[in-house]
Homo-oligomer: A and B are copies of this chain.
Amino acid sequence: MFFYILIFLAILYLWWRWGAQDGQKIRDLTDKYIFITGCDSGFGNLAARTFDKKGFRVLASCLTEAGAAKLKAATSKQLQTVLLDVTDPDNVRKVAEWIKAEVGTAGLWGLVNNAGIMGPSAPTDWLNIEHFRAPIEINLIGLINVTLHLLPLVKKARGRLVNISSTGGRLAVCGGGYFPSKFGVEAFNDSLRRDMKAFGVKVSCIEPGLFKTGLSNRKKIIEEREVIWNQLPPAIRKQYGEGLQRSDRSFMCHLALSA
């Protein structure tokens, strides 16, 4: 008798679980607009194609016309692309106005801040301030500016915001502006998460480790580093040893490069 009751309860539980899972499914996808930055390649590109396939209304920003055309060719007619350089305030403002017109009264259901670069990563004393500034302008200030412009639309939809940070937002593996920029994203993400809670807007942060995207292109990183090495004053080259131009003292940097 007890055994049958147990079986009955187990079936009841499974039936309830099934119903709960079903309730978690997102419905009416064609009403839901998602804006994603940096869709030329990597995570942004994959996210745009994935959400498009699921039926969401994807607004995908690309840095290059070639990137936008390629994405357009690979996706449905519903997906729209727009050119955006997140470091150009005027460009950001205009794209935000375009999004506002597109989404109308629905607001923006999702914002994925994905655009980013690695920037030159090398021992700190190889670098100048412009090496640091490049990733900080794109990954941190650009991300904040896009967010500030689109927050009213996300609030309107009681939507969600996903910031693509990095494991490098927790651990500064080697010199360069990438890590300060991603640490900064963590700070921005966390205060934004609390500020938006009262508006029913969810803010999340993704911290990818080493993935094979354009960002971790080994050849490009080594080439960038060689350019820097070749411009270094002889005194610093001597300190590091002439034979080291293709490598680095830091084992962790090697690890990052071999991804």
Contacts and interface: CB of A to CB of B under 8 A. Distances in A.
Interface stretch (A62-70, A99-107, A140-148, A218-226): A140-148
Interface string A108-136: 00000000000000011101110011001
In the complex, which of the residues A125, A136, A176, A250 has the most CB atoms of chain B within 10 Å of its own CB atom?
A125
A235 B195 CA distance: 16
A178 to B, nearest CB: 9
Given A124-B192, A179-B187, A183-B186, A141 B136 contact: yes
Given A129-B148, A175-B191, A184 B140 contact: yes
A129 B175 contact: no
A195 B123 CA distance: 6
Contacts of A174: 191, 194-195
Contacts of A175: 191-192, 195
A75 to B, nearest CB: 31
21 contacts: A89-B129, A123-B195, A124-B148, A124-B191, A125-B196, A132-B144, A132-B148, A133-B141, A140-B180, A144-B177, A152-B235, A155-B239, A171-B190, A179-B187, A179-B188, A180-B184, A180-B185, A180-B188, A182-B187, A194-B250, A199-B239
